[in-house]
Amino acid sequence: MILTRRTLLGAVAVASFAAAIPAFAAKPLVMGFSQVGAESEWRTANTASIKDAAKKAGITLKFADAQQRQENQVKAIRSFIAQHVDVIAFSPVVESGWDTVLREAKAARIPVILTDRAVNVADKSLYVSFIGSDFVEEGRRAARWLLDYAKKNPAKQFNIVELQGTVGSAPAIDRKNGFQEVIAGNPKLKIIRSQTGDFTRAKGKEVMEAFLKSEGKNINVLYAHNDDMAIGAIQAIEEAGLKPGKDIIVVSIDGVKGAFEAMMQGKLNVTVECSPLLGPQLMQLAQDVVAGKPVPKRITVEEGVFPAEVAAKEFPNRKY
Ligand code: GZL
């Protein structure tokens, strides 16, 4: 049983005024949420899911957009502590640098839930639960698709360029490691250039232009850590007079609608799903935590892999 600020105050209120008022009327739960930013289609869908789920759950949401800057998230968390919210949830833009501010939340008896991305802290009691995808497995799935594709083209050497996500973020670190784990030791699959595109279309295009300038026709595979960077890179590939999806095989992660549209145009070959629709589970988790119920330390989400062949059939079912 986690004795949060809210449970303590509730107990005092009930004990002291039990005779005076018919019942202790529960006020709406207040959640402070610090979001990474608005860098991608995935993030936009994630924010919509959180806001919609809070509304449906009758939870008062104090929402702060950090514009992909850790210092803004630390400031927001401190502000939530000062406002005595009942629970704090956030998607940490990078893995490290959270110990101090999470200790402040713990001292204030405000439970913290991680959503989407993980943190690297020595003291795991600094957060109650982490709900999000398994990014290492997403990287493995991207590589397994490419391995199967390579088996159908045995004569070919696959020179891969990699667009990494935000430097130091859990998805960038884990998707790189998962992909590398599966291609390790295979002489046919080689990463020849790897650089961050910071999960945005603009940066993905810019870095792909640089890859094409330096490696040119030597490139025959792009592995992008998210669909937005892949879509930006597709523009660069076309502007270089090459055919994305054919001259350069495009492997990506997220499964946003833009990726399905690119697959239907024959410009992207596969997207590994990473669901942003975490809102409903997060709100239920927050209510359980504040009620003092035991909750799992780690909650993952079920996800699939969508090759271009299924894009047209699947597109009408896509929710983000
Ligand atoms: C993954 C999420 C990543 C997405 C990107 O859960 O953190 O951040 O893959 C987003 O599109 O910017």
Atom in ligand 1 nearest the alpha carbon of residue 199: 12
254-289 per-position pLDDT tens digit: 999 999 999 999 999 999 999 999 999 999 999 999
The mean pLDDT of 28-33, rounded to a whole number, is: 97
State whether the beta carbon of 274 lies less than 6 angstroms from ligand 1: yes
Domain residue extents for the chain: 28-133+276-301, 135-274
Residue-averaged pLDDT of the chain: 94
Confidence of residue 16 (pLDDT cuts 50, 70, 90): low
Q: Do domains 28-133+276-301 and 135-274 have the same CATH topology?
A: yes
The verdict on the CB of residue 116 being under 6 Å from ligand 1 is yes
pLDDT tens-digit series, residues 174-220? 999 999 999 999 999 999 999 999 999 999 999 999 999 999 899 99
| pLDDT one-digit tens code per residue, 218-243 | 999 999 999 999 999 999 999 999 99
Classified by CATH at the fold level, domain 28-133+276-301 comes out as Rossmann fold (3.40.50)
> What distance in angstroms lies between residue 36's CA and the mean position of ligand 1's atoms?
9
CATH of the domain spanning 135-274: 3.40.50.2300
Do 310 and 247 contact (CB within 8 A), yes or no?
A: no
C-alpha 275 – ligand 1 centre gap (Å)? 9
Residue 120 amino acid letter: N
Find the Cα–Cα–Cα–Cα dihedral 31, 35, 38, 39, rounded to 10°.
Answer: -160
Contact, 207 vs 195, CB < 8 A?
yes
pTM for the structure as a whole: 0.92
